[in-house]
């Protein structure tokens, strides 16, 4: 019986050595090139960010973000990511808040000159509130775009909008395939 235990022990030891020998240098040589192909060259994190947007030396908006990561990919253009959201207040000429955008996430792409707001995006303006899951600001065109969202007007009108677009100051907005509820003054038509 003792010889059977020693034989079994030797067989297990040989099997263990065989398994270890199969983990050769070839696997390590394959892993090294993967590490060289990293996607991000550099990432700089800033905590408690305040962003000021001006046009022709006039302050138009102020934004805050708890965290902003400036990411420099190995191949591509630099961009800023705000993983914990952003709040932007639009200002009038006397620097009073006239509207705002809040979102749970945002990314600003430098080359394209666009900012994409995502998740729980809420735009508040004097003439409406717009709720959506994605809103893009094109700085070159001075326009906002969203694939869909809900517009709520001060009079209680609610509109589900598809292909929403608005001027940068939200003074004019357009959408397609809208449907919803509206309220008409009881004296309408008199």
- Across the 190 residues of the chain, what is the mean pLDDT of every consecutive 10-residue run? 47 44 48 49 83 85 93 84 94 88 95 94 92 95 94 89 90 79 62
Note the pLDDT of residue 115.
Answer: 94
Number of domains in the chain: 1
Query: How far apart are alpha carbons 150 and 159 in whole angstroms?
Result: 6
Query: How far apart are alpha carbons 23 and 74 in whole angstroms?
Result: 31
Query: How far apart are alpha carbons 55 and 175 in whole angstroms?
Result: 27
Which residue range(s) make up the domain with 155?
A: 34-181
DSSP letter for 74, please. Answer: S
What is this structure's pTM? Answer: 0.71
Bridge partners of 67, per DSSP, are 47
Residue 10 lies in a domain: no
Residue 164 lies in a domain: yes
Note the pLDDT of residue 181.
Answer: 65
Note the pLDDT of residue 171.
Answer: 84
Residue 18 lies in a domain: no
């Amino acid at each position: 019986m003792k010889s059977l235990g020693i034989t079994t022990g030797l067989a297990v030891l040989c099997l263990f050595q065989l398994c270890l020998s199969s983990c050769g240098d070839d696997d390590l040589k394959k892993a090294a090139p993967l590490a060289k192909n990293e996607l991000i060259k550099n990432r700089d994190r800033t905590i408690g960010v305040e962003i000021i947007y001006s046009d022709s030396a006039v302050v138009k908006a102020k934004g805050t973000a708890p965290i902003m990561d400036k990411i420099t990919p190995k191949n591509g253009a630099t961009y800023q990511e705000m993983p914990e959201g952003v709040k932007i207040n639009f200002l009038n000429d006397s620097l009073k808040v006239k509207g705002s955008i809040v979102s749970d996430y945002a990314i600003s792409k430098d080359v394209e000159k666009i900012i994409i707001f995502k998740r729980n995006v809420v735009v508040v303006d004097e003439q409406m509130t717009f709720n959506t899951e994605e809103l893009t600001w094109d700085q070159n065109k001075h326009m906002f775009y969203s694939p869909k969202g809900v517009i709520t007007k001060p009079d209680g009108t609610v509109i589900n909008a598809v292909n929403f677009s608005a001027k940068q100051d939200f003074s004019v907005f357009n959408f397609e395939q809208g449907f919803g509820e509206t309220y008409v003054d009881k004296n309408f038509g008199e």
